[in-house]
Amino acid sequence: MAAELASTCDASPSARRARVSDLAARMLSKTSKQSSDPAILLLADGTAFYGRSCGAAGTAVGEVCFNTSLEGYFEVVTDPSYAGQIVTMTYPQIGNYGIDLADTQTAPGMPGRHLGNVKPALRGLVVHDMCHVPSNWRSTMSLPEYLEERGVVAIEGIDTRALVRHLRDNGAQKGIVSTEVFDLAELAHMLDSAPDLVGTNLVQTVSCKEAYGYDASSLSQNRAFAAAAPANARKKVVVYDCGVKRGIIEGLARVGCELLVVPWDTPASEVLKHRPDGVFLSNGPGDPDAVEETYAQVQRIIGKVPIFGICLGHQMISLAAGATMEKLAYGHRGGNQPVLNLLTHRVEITAQNHGFGLVFPSLGELVPELSGGVSEHPCGSDGTPATGDLRFWVERGVAPVVSNERFGRIRLTHVNLNDGTAEGIQLLDAPAFSVQYHPEAAPGPTDAHYLFTAFMRLMDGDRDYLDIDIAKDRLAGWTFAEEPVA
């Protein structure tokens, strides 16, 4: 090997590059990664990253974004909310504990949608270092094997720190990842020809095609050793599937909901015919303004039955109230987003996945007597209310209320502490509330589990349904092994 390296150093520059490339390939083939094909990631602004394939061969186009979760990569890969996106994981090594198909977040209940027997909704995956030989007693296959088997293009070996900094400085943007095309001009042409995320209805690609039921009897037993027994079903809830995660379905069933999951465009009249105790609006991918069929139905349901919405469901309630949405620079994706509950003044570390957000002032004018005496929405540096930093309300300890033309008084309940964006609202004159984040912790912390309990309390008619000790509630769903008796 030393002689080979010496001869390489004595060669011409072009021959030296060829020999080093061949030598590197042969050295890599002796490691757990084995040999791999080259891959490239090209962004819409012309920035290119070169690496190695660690998934399926092919070419994929989508919006390049990043997720800051330290674990839960399989739940991220199988989250339907990532439809249309190429996800970059910021944690350096991904795949080290392999995967168990029981952890898939593809919703259950539909033929072919159980245990990951369907291609994930995301377009591609970007990591710094992919582990090809996982170590975990629950693992049944490696992440690269899963990606290749499901046809997901993935790239490793790039500087994900540089990529994430670029996206933070320049915003999320379209990109193309390929293991078969390396001509930059050709890749740029393919990228320009692809549709933008804004204006595209991705919900229809991940929603169920027909209604199905789900209750506690359908719960997986793979976590029975740690999870507390589910509550008895006592509320009938219709779930609008806009790309609902399996963890959400399970969370609702565990607190006592008997579910009927329906497609994203189910008419309100059909939902109300079932005489549900409540309606749940799920998470989902893409531009909320493009999902008019859903928020038009929500507008007809508000006031008739209790409603709880998360993520895209939060945006559906907001749009039904006539609000404006804004495209965030790079969105919130990960399991470490700090949010303040303005009602309890407790901070929640939350799991999030969205690229659009509610412009709270667009819901209506402030009601001063319910907003700490403040009569005008706070403004940004350019003097416009739309860019106001909602941490203004955090500093004052006030949950402001606006007067909405359609549904009366609406209160801001949650604010993101990183950027001051709206994270939750509560309708005061109708039984409805919503948050922009995920309460099911799949993956992520359990701080927001209390929102499932709050929904049950809302359906019970409790006026203070959001006033819950989150520390006690998040522990209620688990059991802990007792100390062995000596």
We report the CATH number of the domain holding residue 45 as: 3.50.30.20
161 lies in the same domain as 286 = no
The position carrying tokens 């720190």 is: 161
- Reported confidence tier of residue 109, pLDDT bands at 50, 70, 90: low
Cβ atoms 310, 454 nearer than 8 A:
no
| 336 annotated ligand-binding residue | no
398 lies in the same domain as 283 = yes
pLDDT for 470: 87
User: For residue range 258-279, what is the model confidence (pLDDT) as tens digits?
Assistant: 999 999 999 999 999 999 999 9
176 lies in the same domain as 235 = no
DSSP assignment of 154-199, as one string? EEESS-HHHHHHHHHHH--EEEEEESS---HHHHHHHHHHSPPSTT
pLDDT for 462: 95
Instruction: Give the chain's mean pLDDT.
Output: 90
- Give the number of other CB atoms < 10 A from CB of residue 365: 14
| 74 annotated ligand-binding residue | no
What CA–CA distance (Å, rounded) separates 413 from 411?
6
Q: Which of 431, 430, 388, 428 is nearest to 412 (CA)?
A: 428
288 lies in the same domain as 139 = no
The position carrying tokens 């929102």 is: 451
pLDDT for 386: 54
233 lies in the same domain as 376 = yes
pLDDT tops 70 at residue 383:
no
Does 137 fall in a domain? yes
- Reported confidence tier of residue 112, pLDDT bands at 50, 70, 90: very low
Cβ atoms 411, 403 nearer than 8 A:
no
DSSP assignment of 400-460, as one string? -EEEETTTEEEEEEEEETTT--EEEEEETTTTEEEESSBSS-TTS-SGGGHHHHHHHHHHT
Q: Which of 183, 186, 178 is nearest to 57 (CA)?
A: 178
Q: Among residues 147, 163, 193, which one ends one of the domains?
A: 193
| 286 annotated ligand-binding residue | yes
Q: Among residues 138, 163, 193, which one ends one of the domains?
A: 193
Give how many domains the chain has, as a whole number. 2
Does 348 fall in a domain? yes
345 lies in the same domain as 395 = yes
249 lies in the same domain as 279 = yes
What CA–CA distance (Å, rounded) separates 189 from 194?
9
User: For residue range 219-259, what is the model confidence (pLDDT) as tens digits?
Assistant: 877 777 777 788 899 999 999 999 999 999 999 999 999 99
Residue 311 annotated to the active site: yes
Per-residue pLDDT, averaged over 302-323, amounts to 98
167 lies in the same domain as 138 = yes
Does 4 fall in a domain? no
Does 14 fall in a domain? no
88 lies in the same domain as 156 = yes
High-pLDDT (> 70) share of the chain, % = 88
Q: Which of 401, 415, 308, 422 is nearest to 358 (CA)?
A: 422
| 81 annotated ligand-binding residue | yes
Q: Which structural domain range is residue 164 located in?
A: 37-193
108 lies in the same domain as 188 = yes
Per-residue pLDDT, averaged over 440-449, amounts to 89
| 312 annotated ligand-binding residue | yes
Residue with more model confidence, 218 or 163 = 163
DSSP symbol at 29 = H
224 lies in the same domain as 157 = no
Determine which one of 208, 242, 257, 311 is catalytic: 311
Residue 440 annotated to the active site: yes
| Category of 443 on φ-ψ map: left (φ > 0), alpha (ψ -120 to 50) or beta | beta
